[in-house]
Structure 1
Amino acid sequence: ITGGAMPKEVSLRLEPVDEVKAAFFLHRRELGIFNVGGPGRIRLAGESTPLAYKEAFYIGSGDREIFFESDDMNNPALFYFCSTPAHRNYPDRKITKSDALIAEMGSVESANHRIINKMIVREVLETCQLQMGMTELRPGSVWNTMPPHTHGRRMEVYFYFEVPEGNAVCHFMGEPKETRHLWMKNNEAVLSPQWSIHAATATSNYTFIWGMAGENLDYGDQDFYKQTDLR
């Protein structure tokens, strides 16, 4: 499950939607949250955790009320989240970029110079199956995840943000021999099943949050394809 919340004057409660078939949203699920807006807070079990821009928060499974809050209604927080089934509880934890496992990849010459911030991954904290992070394209770079890959054992969702006004991202997906594209705007997400590639180019540099769920927690478990083999 992926979604978002933008509280203003009042707190927003994470409701137990019918699909989870439980009295609490996280009864059998875990949750990863990123703030991509103004300063805000996550309130649960009587405690409030501040979350600034590009900071993340992991919440383990359990029967607790969760509320999203903004510090300033004129500059509201914008929370993006992913949730996956969980077989046990792991401790809640706030994660900042200083906690992340960081990888610098690509080059300006190939238009894919990017910083990958691995924030909710097993090297940073324990989860059941959820993995999340944030990739920042540097100025002059527009391609992400090229050469492309699939995850035969995981699905993935991309959430694009910091797309400047008047620009767009062209997201590629589908089987490597029969790809399709989607034009994405700022603050939009796209889901890719395990058999689909997921890559993009754009009319400007941008940032995206990736979230994965599936059979294992091995970030490097990827099946790559040559650009020249794509159709």
Structure 2
Amino acid sequence: MYEKTYYATHPSMMSRATNDELRDRYLVSKLFRAGQVVLTYSHGERFVIGGAVPGATPLTLPRQADPASAKDHSLLERRELGIVNIGAVEGTVVVDGEAFRLARYDALYVPMGTRDVTFSGEGARFYLLSVPAHRVYPLRKVTLADREPMYRGSREASNERTIHQLILPHTCLSASLCLGLTRLEPGSVWNTMPPHIHERRSEIYLYFDLNDDHRVFHFMGQADSLRHIIMRNEEAVISPPWSVHMGAGTSNYSFVWAMAGENLDYNDMDVLDLCQLR
């Protein structure tokens, strides 16, 4: 069921890890494959990170296949799910018989206890993020127009960007999932400025809206010993609670950020001065 399992790691391993080992432990790639639902599992907050790319026939969110104790149970028996359509074409998600049309950048919150989820629409590309939940919240579609966006950065600093908070308490209730979309303006390449860490949450970034010949340099690690991973279009990266997360691309791009952990406070972060980094 899960193509790969990512285990929790200690910050001390960063200084000894090769580039290939960093990629193996934190980079989530090849999520979006035509005609497939691809799921991976991270022990950090027990995230399920996946992609669904329907073709001529609909796709169904798989039921549990492992471990043996969970076999044939609904994946969302004790989980909630966030879905974002990052494709250029509108698609449809059907949740226990109720259909939702998701245009580009639209999101859908799917509550714990949901039995069946299907995806359809050639050209749609659904990004999936699921974490454990403790109660049921309402099923809800969220669009970019549902809340006033946040404008951050500047063209002079090459980090002019628009932040859309899609699944947070003031936009869409959830048990522990926080999710949003950030889009950089042309000429801007730096995201998440100033850099910071979330000691009480893990975070996943999915970088997209990149041409094939462009890359994002994703920086991670502790402030006094940064490392980086070079990322392609539609690749995700796992950021542990102890890790700085920030990136710079060879062009502007978009990214979906998702967090889960102890709280739902968007502003719960330890901000770092750039002069602290080395």
Question: Scaled by the length of structure 1, what TM-score is found?
Answer: 0.95
Give per-residue Cα distances to partners, 1:195-223, cap 9 Å, x unaligned.
00110001100000000000000000000
1:28 alignment partner in structure 2: 78
Deviation digits for residues 140-165 of structure 1, max 9, x if unmatched? 10000122100010000000110123
Could you tell me which amino acid in structure 2 is paired with residue 3 of structure 1?
Answer: G
Deviation, structure 1 residue 63: 4.0
Residue type of the alignment partner of 2:100: T
- Answering whether residue 132 of structure 2 is matched by residue 85 of structure 1, we say yes
CA distance, structure 2, for counterparts of residue 151 and residue 131 of structure 1 = 13
User: Contact (CA 8 Å) 1:101, 1:119: kept in 2 or not?
Assistant: no
Work out the CA distance in 2 between the residues paired with 1:57 and 1:49.
8
Q: Secondary structure at the match of 1:124?
A: coil
The within-5 A match list for 1:1-231 is: 1-17=48-64, 18=66, 21=70, 23-37=73-87, 38-70=89-121, 73=122, 76-231=123-278
Structure 1 CA distance for aligned equivalents of residues 164 and 216 of structure 2? 20
Across the two proteins, how many residue pairs are aligned to each other? 227
Q: Distance in 1 between matches of 2:95 and 2:52?
A: 15
Distance 1:100 1:33 in 2: 18
For the 8 Å contact 2:95–2:110, the answer to whether it is kept is no
Letter paired with 2:80: E
State the shift of 1:125 in Å.
1.6
The C-alpha deviation readout for 1:76-97, integer Å capped at 9, x for no partner, is 2100011010001101000000
The answer (yes or no) to whether the contact 1:101–1:124 under 8 Å persists in 2 is no
Question: What is the SS of the residue equivalent to 2:81?
Answer: strand
Structure 2: state its 5+ residue gaps.
1-47
How much does 1:39 deviate?
A: 1.2
> What CA distance in whole angstroms lies between the structure 2 residues aligned with 1:50 and 1:228?
46
CA RMSD of aligned residues (A): 1.2
Unpaired stretches in structure 1, ≥5 consecutive residues: none
The structure where helix makes up a greater share of residues is 2
The CA distance in 2 between the partners of 1:16 and 1:179, in whole Å, is: 39
* Gap change, CA 1:101 and 1:156, over 3 Å in 2: farther
